[in-house]
Amino acid sequence: MDRNFEKMASIDAQLRLLAPRKVSEDDKLVEYDALLLDRFLDILQDLHGEDIRETVQECYELSAEYEGKRDTRKLEELGKVLTSLDPGDSIVLTKSFSNMLNLANLAEEVQIAYRRRIKLKKGDLADESSATTESDIEETIKRLVVDLKKSPEEVFDALKNQTVDLVLTAHPTQSVRRSLLQKHARIRDCLTQLYAKDITRDDKQELDEALQREIQACFRTDEIRRTPPTPQDEMRAGMSYFHETIWKGVPKFLRRVDTALKNVGINERIPYNAPLIQFSSWMGGDRDGNPRVTPEVTRDVCLLARMMAANLYFSQIEDLMFELSMWRCNEELHARADELHRSSKRYAKHFIEFWKQVPPSEPYRVVLGDVRDKLYNTRERSRQLLSNGISDIPEDATFADIEQFLEPLELCYRSLCACGDRPIADGSLLDFLRQVFTFGLSLVRLDIRQESDRHTDVIDAITKHLGIGSYREWSEEQRQEWLLGELRGKRPLFGQDLLKTEEIADVLDTFHVISEHPADSFGAYIISMATAPSDVLAVELLQRECHVKQPLRVVPLFEKLADLDAAPAAVARLFSIDWYRNRINGKQEVMIGYSDSGKDAGRLSAA
């Protein structure tokens, strides 16, 4: 107890000393660093005794002295301290320095955020070398208008018609566990709030206690994964960023864009159906050289993403219901609410009793109540399919596609605007609509990646099955001619009697998974080690043969030097094919380089 009071007095003294003088950015970093280090050393002493604390401090000071003066004697002293430790203390010391390094990084992150806030308050522009942040949006738009002589209307039209697709990849070498990432986020929050200007003494004490808890929880958490993460684990880890940051960050970012446009004379918001940002993922879809990514994994990841998306929407829809308590609405919404209210069967057994009693005089709540019910069913059906492979919730009780989900939300938006309540429509409902257009029902679109040779193996098995020879031995012209002939026709190429190796079955089963899931679950089909037009046409044919109703866009990835050199000719040949040109409708995505180009051509040539 006494120690806690001493700590709070120390914090108070620091803040009082800082108040009358100008605080530099470096001062702030020192304060953040010192506070976190002090709290960690206290925890270390409580857990492992004063001797280990003094050893850690001694090693820390010797390291700092050596770094500052390059005095080899300090390095020798440090070596003697380390070699004198028993194995148990060595482990504690190693873990201590690992945690201290993490805390130093967190202090720097909070300092960077502090620096950005100060610059934004002053109106200073970020210098050219700084990373662009949301606070630079308005300045960027002003530069387009002033320096590049673009009209505000031109900028607005350009923004409406562009999309940045951010793709999340995953690596089993990701070192920081999700449990620690979440604790680090809470430490950042505590540290930021501790230095807020309007904080009270009680707030400080409670925040300092919370900070100590989180630091101790980090120290007590194993930093090392004891089992290799599965692709599903990678997906869950990636999705945690959506839950903690991206989900609420997207509508906030789009509002910042609206504000920036308003400040250059555009009094119109970015339409909710023109998302500036979308998200894709390779987690559970990138099977190139990874035997752990199987068709079953891809299926699980699709269901997991759908379940997570429905859960995020579900957690927000009730807040929206409370907010939209208005009674005035247009005829269209009134008719829908009246129909739903009279059809008690529309309400699921899990629906909250209070909302069963919502009268037609609160029509928005009635319509959104039905949305909430279907979101619950969508989440639970995905959860059951993921756990058991079957579900007792019928598909027609869920949202099967994004249009079904959007329709009642757009109805509410139109009604509010028609009744003179546009400011209300442009509140939480607009944010919700923007989230739906950005994230869809699957949160991220899963990209599938497979090597071109694997597709060649499948087509070769098919041509042998048909008794027309070995596709692998054909020339590129022969391959293209046969593939196009089949693409223009309708005959099925194989049935259950096709002889399949394990690898061939894996490729075909992946296409069947694509065909069985909603189209909005997937993004692109990427062909790594692509070399020729036939690689693209082969994937198109396999999609058709496996009954993919809305075929994925096919993206050739040219990697090796010879393939990169030949890529322009290969793509030009694709564009010369009438069938393919009609298929892509004027849009083609191509990937170049990636990792293998550096191995093959060297880093300079690859770049």
Q: Could you tell me what percent of the chain has a pLDDT over 90?
A: 62
* Cα(586)–Cα(132) distance, integer angstroms: 32
pTM of the model: 0.79
* Of the listed ranges 33-42, 343-352, 499-508, the one predicted with least confidence: 343-352
> Catalytic: 95?
no
User: Is 503 in contact with 450 (CB distance < 8 Å)?
Assistant: no
Closest CA to 177 of 139, 239, 223, 208: 223
Closest CA to 559 of 605, 600, 588, 526: 600
153-207 per-position pLDDT tens digit: 999 999 999 899 999 886 655 557 778 888 998 999 998 888 777 788 899 999 9
> Catalytic: 349?
no
329-347 per-position pLDDT tens digit: 999 999 999 888 777 544 4
Which helix H or strand E contains 543, and what residues bound it?
Answer: helix 533-545
User: Is 289 in contact with 451 (CB distance < 8 Å)?
Assistant: yes
User: Is 266 in contact with 204 (CB distance < 8 Å)?
Assistant: no
H-assigned helices in 221-330: 231-241, 247-262, 295-323
Query: Where in the chain are the domains?
Result: 11-128, 135-175+244-293, 294-443, 446-601
Please give the structure tokens belonging to residue 210.
């919370």
* Cα(126)–Cα(109) distance, integer angstroms: 17
Provide mean pLDDT across the span 595-607: 72
The residues, any chain, with a CB within 8 Å of residue 204's CB and separated by 6 or more, are: 8, 11, 12, 194
Which helix H or strand E contains 580, and what residues bound it?
Answer: helix 578-584
CA distances (Å), origin 262, targets 120, 123, 159, 267, 383: 18, 18, 14, 5, 43
User: Which amino acid, residue 420?
Assistant: G
Provide mean pLDDT across the span 225-234: 78
Closest CA to 309 of 394, 389, 229, 381: 381
Which helix H or strand E contains 515, and what residues bound it?
Answer: helix 502-516
pLDDT band at 595 (very low <50, low <70, confident <90, very high): low
pLDDT band at 229 (very low <50, low <70, confident <90, very high): confident
Considering 279-283, 300-304, 536-540, the range whose residues carry the highest mean pLDDT is 536-540
- Residue that the structure tokens 């959104």 belong to: 368
* Cα(508)–Cα(529) distance, integer angstroms: 19
User: Is 34 in contact with 195 (CB distance < 8 Å)?
Assistant: no
Question: For residue 391, what pLDDT is reported?
Answer: 95
Catalytic annotation, pick one of 171, 345, 349, 549: 171
Indicate the CATH number for domain 294-443.
1.20.1440.90
